[in-house]
Amino acid sequence: MKIAISGKGGVGKTTIMALLARELRRTGREVLIIDADPSPHMAETLGIRDIERARPIADMTKLLAERAGKTPGSPFYQLNPQVDDLLRDFMIEQDGLKLMVLGAVQTAEGGCACPENHVLRKMLKKLLLTANQAVLLDMEAGVEHLGRGTVAGADQLLIVVIPSRSSIRTALKIRKLAEDVQIPRISFVGNLVRDEEDKTFLRQGLGEEPVAFFPDAAAIRRAERAEKPIIDIEDELDRAPQQLLEAILNGCGESGDV
Ligand SMILES: Nc1ncnc2c1ncn2[C@@H]1O[C@H](COP(=O)(O)OP(=O)(O)OP(=O)(O)O)[C@@H](O)[C@H]1O
Ligand SMILES: [Mg+2]
């Protein structure tokens, strides 16, 4: 399975991806997380040390360009057919979780990270996967990157939404764009949900039931402030990570018994 995540800025995309990665690991699956946010912080969230050891994917494009004999200034990018062998150098692994980082590749002028996104898209399309493997793509906020088609290689998109009008508006916009790039499954995931009123507000605003509701958890805030990995948190999550995984597995035609 290849799962991407989107949503308005700061709604909890990275947090939810990290908790989902943990659940997938617990079911014995092999998990590769790709941090495609130009300001990456998945490594801290997961508590992965020595992230500097991992070469950013941005480097990979240079390497691939060299191997493919790309001439400077050429608008074309050719991927080396040996890309799979190369992936290893760009991963860092800890406690069975593999992480790749896109790198801070966008320019101050808002230049396009097109080559990197091209590699990402290719990788997503080309990668793997056995039933036992999952790729999770954490992304920057907003809708712009959907236009670049990076997520088109994903087979599921999770759209994180918090109980606010503006978050719902963004979530609906993202769904529309995701439908346009024909991602087979698109689901909403509620976050920072405190009570039934919040759930009802989300259901009504979205016009459908989110596949999971993550509570507003003091434990998550405390961990973040103390710079502790949030994936060490067990309490206060109301089984939301498990529910999310069950919904994903059911959607894949697998058993929800996890
Ligand atoms: N359920 C939750 N309960 C309490 N705090 C949360 C919860 N989810 C996320 N947070 C906190 O909210 C902040 C933003 O979360 P996170 O970084 O996961 O969002 P994001 O959508 O990935 O942000 P960005 O758009 O910057 O990538 C973090 O400080 C995180 O610890
Ligand atoms: Mg994030």
* Residue boundaries of the structural domains of the chain: 2-251
Query: What is the rounded CA–CA span in Å between residue 45 and residue 17?
Result: 10
- Closest ligand 1 atom to residue 41 Cα is 17
What does the pLDDT read at residue 61? 63
Closest CA to 68 of 60, 78, 58, 59: 78
| CB-CB contact of 90 with 60 (8 Å) | yes
Residues 6+ positions from 195 with CB-CB distance below 8 Å: none
The 3-state DSSP composition of the chain as helix, strand, coil percent (nearest 5) reads 45, 15, 40
Report the C-alpha gap between 87 and 123 in whole angstroms.
9
Give the three-class secondary structure for 49.
coil
The CA-atom distances, in angstroms, between 54 and each of 45, 60, 92, 183 are 16, 11, 6, 29
For atom 15 of ligand 1, which residue has the closest CA? Answer: 12
Residue 15 CA, closest ligand 1 atom number: 18
Say if residues 22 and 231 touch (Cβ distance below 8 Å): yes
- Report, at the CATH architecture level, how domain 2-251 is classified: 3-Layer(aba) Sandwich (3.40)
Nearest ligand to the C-alpha atom of residue 160: 1
CB 59 within 8 A of CB 51: no
Query: Judging by beta carbons within 10 Å of its beta carbon (0-12, 13-18, 19+), is residue 167 exposed, middle or buried?
Result: buried
Residue 113's pLDDT is: 61
Strand order in the sheet with 156-161: 92-94, 97-101, 30-35, 133-138, 2-7, 156-161, 185-193, 212-215
| Tokens describing residue 94 | 């800890």
> Nearest-CA neighbor of 22 among 134, 161, 130, 129?
134
β 185-193/2-7 pair status: unpaired
The one-letter amino acid at 166: S
Instruction: Report the pocket of ligand 1 as residue ranges, CB < 6 Å.
Output: 7, 9-15, 37, 141, 191-192, 214, 216-217, 220-221, 224
Ligand nearest to the CA of 9: 1
What confidence score (pLDDT) does residue 58 get?
Answer: 66
List strand residue ranges (DSSP E) for 49-96, in order.
92-94
- pLDDT for the residue numbered 78: 36
- Which protein residue's CA is at the shortest distance from atom 24 of ligand 1? 10
Q: What is the pLDDT along the chain (258 residues), one digit of tens a residue?
A: 899 999 999 999 999 999 999 999 999 998 989 998 878 889 989 988 877 777 777 666 666 555 555 545 443 333 333 445 566 678 888 888 888 887 655 444 555 566 667 777 767 776 657 778 888 999 888 776 676 667 777 889 999 999 999 999 999 999 999 998 888 999 999 999 999 999 999 999 999 999 999 999 999 999 999 989 988 888 789 999 999 999 999 886 564 444
pLDDT of residue 66: 59
Atom of ligand 1 nearest to the CA of 138: 22
Question: Do residues 223 and 230 make contact, with C-beta atoms less than 8 angstroms apart?
Answer: yes
